[in-house]
Amino acid sequence: MVKKLIFLTVFLATVFISCSDHSLTSKNLNIQIVNCDLDSIRKRGKLIAVTDFNSTDYFIYKGDPMGFNYELLKSFSDYLGIDLEIVIENRHKDAFEMLRSGEADLLAFNLTENSSRKKNVLLTVPIGETRQVLVQRKPGNWRSLTPDILDKKLIRNHLDLARKTIYVQAGTNNAEQLIALEKEIGDSINVIEVPFESEKLIKNIASGEIDYTICNENLAEVNATFYSNIDVNTPVSVPQNITWGLRNTNSDALATAFNNWITKFKNTGSYALLYAKYFHNPWSISIVKSDFYAPNTGRVSQYDDMIKRFSIRINWDWRLLASLICQESHFEQNVESYSGAFGLMQVMPETGKNFGIDITSSPENNLKAGVSYINWLHSIFDPRIPDVTERIRFILAAYNAGPGHILDAMKLAQKNGMDPLKWEGNVALWLIKKSEPQYYNDTVVKNGYFKGVESVTFVSQILARFEHYKNIIPKEKNLPF
């Protein structure tokens, strides 16, 4: 008989929200489920997907979001022509609840098909294939053993699983697979479900804390490159399709769009390269062991400590400042633009001189000049933009375009009946229109022509990366925000 010890967070209440207004979350207890299909998602302007983070699906490396699931989601959202918002949740039960309640549109987990899952979620067509394997630790002297002797010391026969204790991630179908094996071998297997993702369990096997787990082979093989003392060569299932999940109500159009897209995409060279990048890449071990593999270290660059210090001067979350720096220089200190902007924060030499700083003398001085410039932008926009979140958008745009062009766009927005204090769909629209003669020649415009699309993209990319950082990198303690 299978013994299950399940340690999961229990939801205290079930909340239904509207997909057409994602800001209405669990604070609104009286909202009922409404249509969350493709039309309302397009109207919202973004696809909300929940996924887990690990070394293959979604992670941050050297400041950039990466991962097989992440890149698939990004390609699909680009295909739809909308933005992507990723919510991370490694606990499968909670992720399924987010999907069911409308907090997410798509569940980008590596799900295998089973009858109970099909009752609760609308599964997509397969995005790939895998099988489940046993993860076990090699004996201490494994390096001195021949392959045939090593095999004899490891579990290769399912009958040898009898009476073994195997830890699995709660909410997955790994326990069901072991129940099926239990019936096959005619003996009991002690299965313990725990609220830890498979990658954490594999790490615990390598360190000797536990002896066995099972998980998808593609994830196990990647982790075997990190931990040389684990074995992943014993299959415990036949090959299985991997799918993603949608709500089983009000998702028909989204399901059709995704299924059509992934079916075609899987037959392209781009898909083959993407799969090889994450599942057959010999450099994976160097990524995970890097100081800048954020899930392990919480770091994105060698300048993180400095960025944290300087972020206090402008009262910014350090991860936002890091995202800005990644956008400007990708943390390369000596990079210089065609216009002469230099360093981590791509500061113009004249700007540095205005603050009495030589921007080329050191990374610290470059940061000091960039932060001084941001403080100056705050002095311009703080009195004008009362909403803190909106103000950040305006300041980021001004960092790229200069404050004059942003002030012009605010005036154009107001003159044309739009909100001069809101960025998206309002001032951002008029900044783009400043490249058209009828608008840059308007009497309210003081700074002339400007190609605003680059600045609008600049803002959206920094804020999108900031959200990725918030997903994976813990907020720094003892900072004033």
- Say what the pLDDT of residue 171 is: 82
The superfamily in CATH containing domain 132-237 is: Periplasmic binding protein-like II (3.40.190.10)
Nearest to 123 by CA among 132, 114, 136, 134: 114
Confidence band (pLDDT; 50, 70, 90) for 36?
Answer: low
**Distance between CA 416 and CA 414 in Å, rounded?**
5
- Out of 43-52, 158-167, 305-314, 468-477, which region has the weakest mean confidence (pLDDT)? 468-477
Mean pLDDT of 80-89: 95
- Say what the pLDDT of residue 312 is: 96
Give every CB contact of residue 320 below 8 A, 6+ residues apart in sequence. Answer: 311, 392, 462, 466, 469
Can you name the CATH fold of 38-129+242-288? Answer: D-Maltodextrin-Binding Protein; domain 2 (3.40.190)
Amino acid at 92: H
Whether 378 contacts 440, CB under 8 Å? no
Same fold, 38-129+242-288 and 304-472: no
Out of 1.10.3720.10, 1.10.260.40, 1.10.530.10, 3.10.20.30, the CATH code matching 304-472 is: 1.10.530.10
Distance from the Cα of residue 375 to its chain's centroid: 30
pTM for this entry: 0.85
Average pLDDT, the chain: 90
Confidence band (pLDDT; 50, 70, 90) for 27?
Answer: very low
Nearest to 291 by CA among 57, 2, 62, 90: 62
Q: What is the pLDDT of residues 337-378, one digit of tens each?
A: 999 999 999 999 999 999 999 999 999 999 999 999 999 999
Enumerate the domain spans of the chain. Answer: 38-129+242-288, 132-237, 304-472
Mean pLDDT of 162-175: 92
- Say what the pLDDT of residue 351 is: 95
Q: What is the pLDDT of residues 190-242, one digit of tens each?
A: 999 998 899 999 999 999 999 999 999 999 999 999 999 999 999 999 998 99
Tokens of 260: 């059509």
Confidence band (pLDDT; 50, 70, 90) for 285?
Answer: confident
Confidence band (pLDDT; 50, 70, 90) for 394?
Answer: very high
- Say what the pLDDT of residue 24 is: 37
